[in-house]
Amino acid sequence: MSGLAGVAYKALIGVAAGAMMVGGAQAADLAVSEPIVAAEVTPNWDIAFGVAGVTDYRFRGITQTNNNPAIQGYAELQLFDWVYAGVWASSVSFPERRGLTDPAAEVDLYAGIRHTWDAFTLDVGGLYYWYPGEHKQFPGQKEIDYWELKALPSYSFGDFGSITGNIWWSSDFVNTGAEELYLSIVPKVNIPVASMPNLGFYISGEVGKQWVKKTDSGFNPPDYWTWNVGGGVTYKAMTVDVRYTDTNLSKNECYAFAGARSWCGSTVVGKIAFDTSLNKLK
């Protein structure tokens, strides 16, 4: 083999060997590479629903069931982790006195925007309180259906707990023409128990104030404070909660505001609830 041919032959052998080495390296890399894991996809929609039983339905510290138990339930459509709309209902009992109607139930129709950014959640929307089956005591008596707007900012401290603010406003409280505002703060602390990992324990409370201006009839309801404190335990879809609730309304102020002297006093309220959604059932 001539000198030139020998050089060409050696160069060809070198290129082939290099190609074999490169090919071997690529095959080895493919053999040990991590498997591709598909990213978890958040569903575009869901329907949350639940049912609860309470020993007394208290709305901002005032009984809506004449100090008796109530059955409650809801269904809520959730879209794109932003938009929601739902209906919530409860049995009520308003004895017909001091101009109050006595509806068959309370049905809340609501909708809004709710989204979470890291630890912060904001819920903004509106709610319409509908009281079907109202019984009027005298001709021309108004029904008590009305609407409210809300803003609920919340901050989560990881597994430790959270704190939530409540801002509710209406220009027509209980269809009386009175402007009203309700502000409250709701802290919650989670209590981990290592020996019972399937159970979630917590304590929580609320302190709020209700302002109501003069009604169309000239009545000026008293402003008042309300508060509650209690705790509960969760297991899968079930929650059991017990809490103490009260207001600073005197019996005479309670009669003026709610139509009954015994509707605003202190009490202990128990609740058992079941909450889930369609996606959780899959």
Reading the chain (282 residues) residue by residue, the pLDDT tens digits are 544 444 444 443 443 434 333 344 433 343 444 455 555 567 899 999 999 999 999 999 999 999 999 999 999 999 999 999 999 999 999 876 556 788 999 999 999 999 999 999 999 999 999 999 988 777 778 899 999 999 999 999 999 999 999 999 999 999 999 999 999 999 999 999 999 989 999 999 999 999 999 999 899 999 999 999 999 999 999 999 999 999 999 999 999 898 889 999 999 999 999 999 999 997
Strands 70-79 and 120-130: unpaired
From residue 235, alpha-carbon distances to 109, 178, 203 in Å are 28, 42, 15
pLDDT recorded at residue 35: 53
Q: What pLDDT does residue 98 have?
A: 58
The CATH fold assigned to 45-281 is Porin (2.40.160)
101 in Cβ contact with 143 (< 8 Å): yes
Q: Compute CA distances 157 → 89, 122, 153, 163, 187, whole Å.
A: 31, 15, 14, 8, 11
Per-residue burial over 186-222, b if 16 or more Cβ lie within 10 Å, else e, is bebebeeeeeeeeebebebbbebebbbeebeeeeebe
